[in-house]
């Protein structure tokens, strides 16, 4: 298994590919993935002054005049806002449109597609702690650790990804950026939420929504029945569902 | 719960959300008052259950066990100097049916202390998949040698250098 990393969107992306892949193919796969991230970084980053998102935020460009890509991303975020009862939202409290909550997951989803289309059937792509996996590596499963938010460098849990739960995202109060906005009435005891799902957008949005919406959103998320969830409370206690417990790697 | 979730998904108003939140709180309270006495002892379950529902304050029924010690025929070998506390052993509580399934826990007592709480049945048996408390040893059966990825709240480019993922990448996942 070979590992490749590159910087983008203010974080680091790690890609794992099997050694059996010819080096030309691997090189091409890597540049395709990097391109998916770069395209989105240039369009959606609010820290880039000349990005389309920054022009919208400054009022120079109306959303109605923006690119199809921008409006599609906005529409998807709005659909998730409705699906989570408002716990997830693309609007910052100051009114600025902030799609950074979905752009990384969107890039991971696109990476997953281009890699499969290129015939790569075993891989993992990890963008700053959110990841997509495919196939079965030599050790039998993609084994993933979940960071302990209360103790840096500590691994809280270890799970094996499956084809049903091939994607994982973790959100927390320590998260970079400001795209998690808690409602004032939200129970603030949830410090980290991990969601495994069959697609990275679902995992990422729901992990963010649990932190933003607290216990009530956790109830909604687990009632979907298609996700595995682990929540860490500020006192170190854990909440999870059966689907998550089934993913825990046996000793 | 399905009705409430659907309702909440559609509703944007804070007032409506507050009602939902209260509802979920009261559900949680009901569950704990039912399950705590059930976990407290083997034979005293029926009486503790009804009395706690009525007026007895006893919030630490599971930890303050003088009644269960006299009633329970200790399933474990006789403790040596144990004073008035419960005998060492594993005490299984009643299976409690609730809205979404069945919950049953066992409490392991050693040296007068609760050393472990085990979920015997914790899955939702009626088509629901609810979150419930997990113990650390249920999620940490580490095979750290084979970990290739780490999931956590997003690290910055700079923080990556100090992050575990950086070490995993440097190690190159030899598997």
ipTM score assigned to the predicted complex = 0.86
Q: Which of B153, B168, B173 to mutate to test the interface with A (most CBs of A within 10 A)?
A: B153
pLDDT at B115: 74
- The Cα A86–Cα A109 span in angstroms is 23
At A108 the pLDDT is 97
pLDDT at A136 over 90: yes
Return all residues near A175 (Cβ < 8 A) that are at least 6 apart: A211, B153, B154
Between A32 and B135, the higher pLDDT residue? A32
| Separation in Å, CA of A203 to nearest CA in chain B | 12
Contact A238 B5 (CB under 8 A): no
- Selecting from A137, A249, A250 the residue whose C-beta is nearest the C-beta of B175 gives A137
The more confident residue out of B81 and A96 is A96
Instruction: Say which CATH number the domain at A211 has.
Output: 3.10.520.10
Cβ neighbours of A14 in B, within 8 Å: 149, 165, 168-169
pLDDT of residue A232: 94
Higher pLDDT, A224 or B69: A224
Alpha carbons A213 and A84: distance in angstroms, whole number: 9
| Of A47-51, A110-114, A224-228, B161-165, highest mean pLDDT | A110-114
Q: Is A161 left (phi over 0), alpha (psi -120 to 50) or beta?
A: beta
When pLDDT is cut at 50, 70 and 90, the band that residue B161 belongs to is confident
Taking only residues 170 to 229 of chain A, the set having a beta carbon closer than 8 angstroms to any beta carbon of chain B reads: 170-177, 183, 185, 192, 194, 215-216, 218-220, 222-225, 229
A119 touches chain B (CB under 8 A): no
- Tell me: pLDDT of A110 over 90: yes
Q: Whole-angstrom Cα distance, residue A62 to residue B128?
A: 44
State the nearest Cα–Cα gap between A61 and chain B, in angstroms: 28
Which range marks the domain in which residue A103 is found? 2-247
The sign of the dihedral angle between the CA atoms of A169, A234, B148, B165 is positive
Give the percent of chain B with pLDDT over 90: 0
Q: What is the pLDDT of residues A146-200, one digit of tens each?
A: 999 888 888 899 999 999 999 999 998 755 344 455 666 666 788 999 999 999 9
B116 vs A200, higher pLDDT: A200
**pLDDT of amino acid A36:** 97
Residue A247 has a pLDDT of 92
Confidence of residue B124 (pLDDT cuts 50, 70, 90): very low
Lowest-confidence region among A74-83, A89-98, B59-68: B59-68
Cβ within 8 Å, pair B157-A218: no
Q: What's the domain count of chain A?
A: 1
Q: Mean pLDDT throughout A107-133?
A: 95
- pLDDT tens digits for B17-46? 333 333 333 333 333 333 333 333 333 333
Question: Which of A131, A177, A239 faces B149 most closely, judged by CB atoms?
Answer: A131
Query: Is B9 within 8 Å of A215 when comparing Cβ atoms?
Result: no
Contact A51, A43 (CB under 8 A): yes
Domain limits of chain B? 2-140, 142-175
């Amino acid at each position: 298994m070979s590992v490749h990393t590159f910087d983008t969107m203010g974080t680091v992306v790690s890609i794992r590919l099997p050694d059996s892949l010819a080096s030309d193919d691997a090189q091409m796969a890597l540049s395709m993935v990097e391109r998916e991230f770069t395209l989105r970084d240039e369009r959606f980053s609010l820290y880039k002054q000349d990005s389309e998102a920054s022009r919208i935020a400054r009022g120079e460009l109306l959303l109605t005049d923006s690119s199809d890509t921008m409006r599609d991303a906005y529409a998807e975020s709005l659909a998730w806002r409705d699906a989570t009862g408002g716990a997830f939202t693309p609007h910052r409290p100051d009114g600025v449109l902030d799609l950074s909550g979905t752009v990384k997951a969107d890039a991971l989803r696109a990476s997953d597609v281009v890699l499969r289309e290129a015939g790569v059937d075993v891989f993992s792509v990890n963008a700053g702690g959110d990841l997509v996996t495919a196939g079965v590596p030599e050790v039998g499963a993609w084994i993933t650790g979940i960071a302990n938010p209360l103790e840096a460098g500590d691994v809280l849990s270890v799970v094996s990804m499956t084809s049903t739960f091939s994607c994982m995202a973790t959100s927390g109060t320590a998260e970079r950026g400001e795209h998690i906005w808690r409602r004032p009435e939200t129970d603030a005891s949830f410090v980290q939420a991990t969601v495994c799902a069959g697609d990275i957008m679902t995992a990422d949005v729901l992990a963010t929504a649990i932190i933003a919406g607290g216990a009530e959103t956790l109830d909604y998320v687990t009632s979907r029945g298609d996700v595995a969830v682990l929540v860490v409370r500020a006192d170190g206690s854990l909440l999870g569902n059966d689907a998550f417990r089934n993913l825990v790697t046996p000793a | 719960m399905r009705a409430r979730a659907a309702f909440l998904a559609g509703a944007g108003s804070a007032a409506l959300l507050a009602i939902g939140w209260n509802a979920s709180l009261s559900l949680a309270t009901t569950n704990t008052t039912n399950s705590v006495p059930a976990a407290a002892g083997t034979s005293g379950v029926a009486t503790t259950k009804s009395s706690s529902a009525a007026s007895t304050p006893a919030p630490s029924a599971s930890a303050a066990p003088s009644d269960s010690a006299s009633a329970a025929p200790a399933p474990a070998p006789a403790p040596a100097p144990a004073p008035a506390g419960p005998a060492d052993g594993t005490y299984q509580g009643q299976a409690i049916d609730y809205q979404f399934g069945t919950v049953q826990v066992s409490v392991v007592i050693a040296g007068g202390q609760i050393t472990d709480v085990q979920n015997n049945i914790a899955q939702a048996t009626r088509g629901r998949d609810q979150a419930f408390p997990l113990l650390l040893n249920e999620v940490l059966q580490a095979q750290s040698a084979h970990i290739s990825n780490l999931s956590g709240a997003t690290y910055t480019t700079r923080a990556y250098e100090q992050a575990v993922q950086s070490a995993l990448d440097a190690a190159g996942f030899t598997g």
